[in-house]
Structures are given as structure tokens and as C-alpha cells.
Amino acid sequence: MSSYTHELQTALLAVQRATLLTQKVFHTHAKGTLSKSDHSPVTIGDFGAQALIISALRHNFPSDEIVGEEEASFLRENPSLAEQIFALVKESKLEDAEAEGQLGGPVKDAEAMLRAIDAGSSGGGSKGRIWALDPVDGTKGFLRGGQYAVCLALIVDGDVKVGVLGCPNLPVDDAAQLSADVGGEGRGVLFAAVQGEGATSRPLTEGKLAEGKSIAMKEVQDIAQATFCESVEAAHSSHGDQAEIAKRLGISKDSVRMDSQAKYGSIARGAGDLYLRLPVRKDYEEKIWDHAAGDLIVREAGGEVTDANGKRLDFGIGTTLKDNKGVVAAPKAVHEAVLKVVKEVLSGT
């Protein structure tokens, strides 16, 4: 039995419950977009999902620290919005009583919800048990009805031990061809990994967990036939550099652009092959919650994940990947070749 069985089970159920709330928000609440101080969009789905997940973590692991993306000061200044979000949080429960009980049941009241949101205030670091949470990764994708993910990872002494991604708009079928399209039935998947134990996918449900099955990255025999994943937003990754890298690798297929860590899950199960996130500004620091779960899932599925200089991503130095620039994720057999071209393009050689 895994030494992280309880953590994995809790993370899977917590993410699954939170995705139910995000889907309800999308279909019924016109998303309720706000703007944070850095002008990035935040929705009532972000606040509600963070409250639900942190509530479950505090019930199961009360002494663990949590790094969350949101904080509740705006909601405290806007009590009517807080009540609107609490109404959603209160309604969002798993249909299986045992599974819901494992998460501690419903959040008691609006004040408990605000306290839960604010409990995600850890500064990260290299010591102890720290959960990294992104309640709605890919907010712009969520707003446009595209790909987004609910992301949760456990970092122990700076090392990612458990990672879970809930991707409501990805196809359940691991063999489905990678595309940015989100229409049709049979969508909603949970990806998960525990360090040293491989990676899995399973359908999202509204109750107890579905059975998981092992996933693995596709073997790439000919790199020219590989499929790239990249960010939709040009502000997140340099599309021009990516196109030049593809050209030098002999890749002629169009890249597939999608938001969120759904890209990590997609390449981990072999629906795509390569994920590049190339630096657009020298001063930009990636957030740990945007990569921790996906990094582990890809590595446990047989991939390699480094930054653009070939260094492993370091999740133990705070809330950002300040010692890393960019991300290069690929099957182990071709990672070195991809990285070589990335370095050449970024250095202008």
C-alpha cells in the first residue's frame, strides 16, 4: 500500500467535488468575472473551488500548510457576493455519502468558507508538507468554455509526492486524438500520480471515484511526427519561438493550443507528445500551483520535465519557480533532442 494512500484519495475526491462546482458555475452563473490586482480574471468558481478543497484538506490533514491562489479579502468587502458563492459551495456535494464524509461534509457557513479560502496563505518552502492548489487553472479557458483544470499537489520537503488534475472538458477516452475542441459527450477526466507509483486517469463522476487505469506517454519513434501542445495565450508562452523549434525538429503538424495543466494530462496519456512553455519575459516567475501536479503526472507516465535550461523544476523555494525559466516536457527518449533545439532557438543560434 502506498504511504500516500490517504492523501491521494482525499485529493482525488476533493478535486472531483470542486469540479462539480466549477461546472455548475459555468452553466448557471455567467461565471461572475472579477479582476484581481494583477488584472488576471478570477471567477466565483475560483473562490468556491478553493473553499471546498481547503475545507477537505483541513479536515483530513489539519497541520499541513496550503498554498492557494486566492484570498478572501474581496469577498469580505462584498458580503452579497460571498453569500452567492456560499450558496454554491453548500450545494456542491458528492452523491456518495461515504465519499462526501471522507471530505468532512459540507462547509458550515459563509464565515467558515472565507476562513477556508484564507487558509491557503502558506509561502511555500523546502520543509514540511505543503499543498499547492489552483482552483481554476486556465481561467480564460474556463470563461470561453475551453479547457481548464482544478489542480492539487502535495509537496513534501520540496518534492512533489502526489498530484491530481480534474479536467472537466477533456475526453474520458485516453486514446482520443488531441484537439482543442470541447464539444460532445464523454468528457471529464481525473489524472493522478504518486511519486514512484505511476500515473492514472479515470472518468470524473458525481459520487464515489471511478476505477483508475494506468497511463503512459506515447513512444515517439520519429520526432517529426510529434504533436506539440502550447498555451492559448501568447502572454504565457512565446508562439514564435515555438514555431521555430517545431520547424528545426521537422515537425509540420500544427500545434494544439489549450489552456491550463490539461496539457500535462494530455501528453501524459499519449494524446499529445510535447509541451513547451517558453519564457516571454526575463522577469516572469511561474507559480508552483501552475505546474506541480502536471510535472509529477508527466514524469510518472514516463516523461521528462525540465526548464528551458535542462534543470528540474524546483518546487521548494517559495510560491514561484524563481530558479527556473520555461518548461520543456517530452517523452524521456526525445527530451534531450528537444531541449537542445530549445536552447539553440532561445539563444538565437
For residue 78, the tally of other CB atoms under 10 A from its CB is 13
Query: pTM for this one?
Result: 0.94
Averaged pLDDT for residues 248-273:
93
Round to whole Å and give the CA distance between 312 and 286: 14
HSE (side-chain half, CA atoms, 13 Å) at 125: 9
Q: How far from chain centre, in Å, is Cα 272? A: 17
CA dihedral 127, 129, 130, 135 (to 10 degrees): 170
At 136 the three-state DSSP class reads: strand
- Residue with the bigger pLDDT between 269 and 283: it is 269
CA nearest to 96, candidates 208, 15, 13? 208
Mean pLDDT for all residues in the chain: 92
Burial of 252 (0-12, 13-18, 19+ CB in 10 A): exposed
Catalytic residues: 46, 139
HSE (side-chain half, CA atoms, 13 Å) at 62: 2
At 310 the three-state DSSP class reads: coil
> What is the per-residue pLDDT for 266?
95
> What is the per-residue pLDDT for 41?
56
| 216: alpha, beta or left? (left if phi > 0; alpha if psi -120 to 50) | beta
Convert the pLDDT of each residue in 14-33 to its tens digit.
Answer: 999 999 999 998 887 655 56
Q: Examine the pLDDT at 281 and tell me if it is beyond 60.
A: yes
Round to whole Å and give the CA distance between 323 and 317: 8
- Residue with the bigger pLDDT between 349 and 263: it is 263
Question: 475551453: which residue's cell?
Answer: 146
DSSP string, 99-115: HHHHTTSS--SHHHHHH
Side chain identity at 313, as an amino acid letter? L
Convert the pLDDT of each residue in 134-170 to its tens digit.
Answer: 999 988 888 888 899 999 999 999 999 999 999 999 9
Q: Examine the pLDDT at 40 and tell me if it is beyond 70.
A: no
> What is the per-residue pLDDT for 255?
85
Q: Is the dihedral of CA 308, 312, 318, 323 positive or negative?
A: negative
DSSP label of 232:
S
- Range with the lowest mean pLDDT among 118-132, 157-171, 278-292, 295-309? 278-292
- Range with the lowest mean pLDDT among 237-241, 257-261, 267-271, 328-332? 237-241
Please, are residues 110 and 82 in contact by the beta-carbon 8 Å criterion?
yes
- Residue with the bigger pLDDT between 158 and 3: it is 158
Please, are residues 288 and 66 in contact by the beta-carbon 8 Å criterion?
no
% of the chain exceeding 70 in pLDDT: 92
Q: How far from chain centre, in Å, is Cα 228? A: 18
Averaged pLDDT for residues 308-321:
97
Convert the pLDDT of each residue in 215-234 to its tens digit.
Answer: 999 999 899 999 988 888 76
